[in-house]
Amino acid sequence: MPRYCAFLRAINVGGRVVKMDRLRAIFESLGLKNVETFIASGNAIFDSRANPASLDKKIEAALKRELGYEVETFLRTAEELAAIAKYVPFHETGLALHCGFLYAAPAPSVVAAIVECRTPVDEFHSHGREIYWLCRVKFNESQVKPKAFEKALGAPVTFRSMTTVAKLAAKLNAGHKNICESRSAAIVSSRSAV
């Protein structure tokens, strides 16, 4: 059965608190199997044979019905998440590397607008349905805020640290090659190629 990770936007921020057991129950009410949550920032892992093209909207509708507000949901398969965790968007390391999840790959004009958000401490890179953000200071000290991306994109986005992404990928792909080790090897390899 296909395994997925759902990245939920705006869970447990802005005074809204959703307990993880309640979140799991909402996912289970949709017939999703082996539901797990990972840290309280809105990451849910589950198995489903449902059509992936409509699964995110089904989850969003259930969350709105149960929680009373919109919760954008970005799904990635175990294979997609493994590829994201291994991807090396920058040859430089920074204090904070984050991945922003989108519904669809942005148009070239939108990518150009996002890249223009860069600062002396922030760099951005687009690949597929993800935006990578390298921050050379603590992420919460950056002058660029996630809402700037949403304005440039004209669409919602939710960010996770690449550390979290790698841990989730390893969890989804348990029994396969260690994703965290693969990511470290890819970074070392990309540096030696420069």
State what percent of residues in the chain have pLDDT above 70: 89
CATH number at residue 19: 3.30.70.1280
Decide if pLDDT at 41 tops 90: no
- Give the confidence band of 185 by pLDDT, cuts at 50, 70, 90: very low
139-170 pLDDT, tens digit each: 888 888 777 778 888 889 999 999 999 999 99
Decide if pLDDT at 59 tops 60: yes
118-144 pLDDT, tens digit each: 999 999 999 999 999 999 988 888 888
- Give the confidence band of 16 by pLDDT, cuts at 50, 70, 90: confident
Report DSSP letters for 50-92, one per residue: S-HHHHHHHHHHHHHHHHSS---EEEEEHHHHHHHHH----SS
Give the domain-ending residue among 60, 80, 100: 80
Closest CA to 154 of 122, 90, 111, 184: 111
Please tell me whether residues 17 and 59 are part of one structural domain.
yes
Give the domain-ending residue among 80, 101, 120: 80
pLDDT reported for residue 35: 97
Please tell me whether residues 54 and 123 are part of one structural domain.
no
Name the residue range of residue 64's domain: 3-80
Please tell me whether residues 71 and 109 are part of one structural domain.
no
pTM: 0.86
Contact 56, 50 (CB under 8 A): no
Please tell me whether residues 43 and 92 are part of one structural domain.
no
How many Cβ atoms sit within 10 Å of the Cβ of residue 78? 20
Closest CA to 42 of 65, 66, 63: 63
